[in-house]
Amino acid sequence: MAEKQIKNRVCIVGSGNWGSAIAKIVGRNAARLPNFEDKVTMWVYEEIIEGKKLTEIINETHENVKYLPGHQLPPNVVAVPDVVEAAKDADLLIFVVPHQFVRTICSTLLGKIKPTAAALSLIKGFDIAEGGGIDLISHIITRCLKIPCAVLMGANIASEVAEEKFCETTIGCRDVMLAPMMRDIIQTDYFRVVVVDDEDAVEICGALKNIVAVGAGFVDGLGFGDNTKAAVIRLGLMEMIKFVDVFYPGSKLSTFFESCGVADLITTCYGGRNRRVAEAFVKTGRSIKELEDEMLNGQKLQGPITAEEVNHMLANKNMENKFPLFTAVFRICRGELKPHDFIDCIRSHPEHMVKVAMK
Ligand X SMILES: O=P(O)(O)OC[C@H](O)CO
Ligand Y SMILES: NC(=O)c1ccc[n+]([C@@H]2O[C@H](COP(=O)([O-])OP(=O)(O)OC[C@H]3O[C@@H](n4cnc5c(N)ncnc54)[C@H](O)[C@@H]3O)[C@@H](O)[C@H]2O)c1
Among 157, 179, 202, 244, binds ligand X (CB under 6 A): 157
Among positions 185-244, residues that touch ligand X (CB under 6 A) are: 210, 213
Q: Is 18 annotated as a binding residue?
A: yes
Shortest CB 244 distance to ligand X, Å = 18
Cα–Cα distance, 218 to 230 (Å, whole number)? 13
Describe the crossing of helices 273-284 and 264-271 by its angle, rounded to 10 degrees: 40
Is residue 98 near ligand Y by the rule CB under 6 A? yes
Tell me the CB-side half-sphere exposure of residue 258, using CA atoms within 13 A: 26
**Least distance (Å) from ligand Y to the CB of residue 161?**
8
Residue 123 contact partner, candidates ligand Y, ligand X, none, CB within 5 to 8 A by sort of partner: ligand Y
Task: Dump the DSSP string for 99-148.
Answer: GGGHHHHHHHHTTSS-TT-EEEE----EEEPTTS-EEEHHHHHHHHH-S-
Among 66, 124, 183, 229, interactor with ligand X by CB under 6 A: 124
Q: How far is the CB of 220 from ligand X (least distance, A)?
A: 13
- The CA angle 134-96-315, to the nearest 5 degrees, is 15
**Nearest Cα residue to 93 out of 6, 4, 182:** 182
- Amino acid sitting at position 335: G
β-partners of residue 192 are 168
| Window of 61-69, 73-81, 196-204, 261-269 that interacts with ligand X by CB under 6 A | 261-269
CB of 22 to ligand X, least distance (A): 12
Cα-Cα-Cα-Cα torsion 96, 98, 101, 107, nearest 10 degrees, comes to 20
17 assigned to a ligand binding site: yes
Binding residues for ligand Y (CB under 6 A): 14-19, 45, 67, 96-99, 101, 122-125, 156-158, 298-300, 302
Catalytic site residues? Answer: 209
Which residues in this chain contact ligand X in the complex, by CB under 6 A? Answer: 124, 155-157, 210, 213, 264, 267-268, 272-274, 302
Residues annotated within a binding site for substrate = 124, 273-274
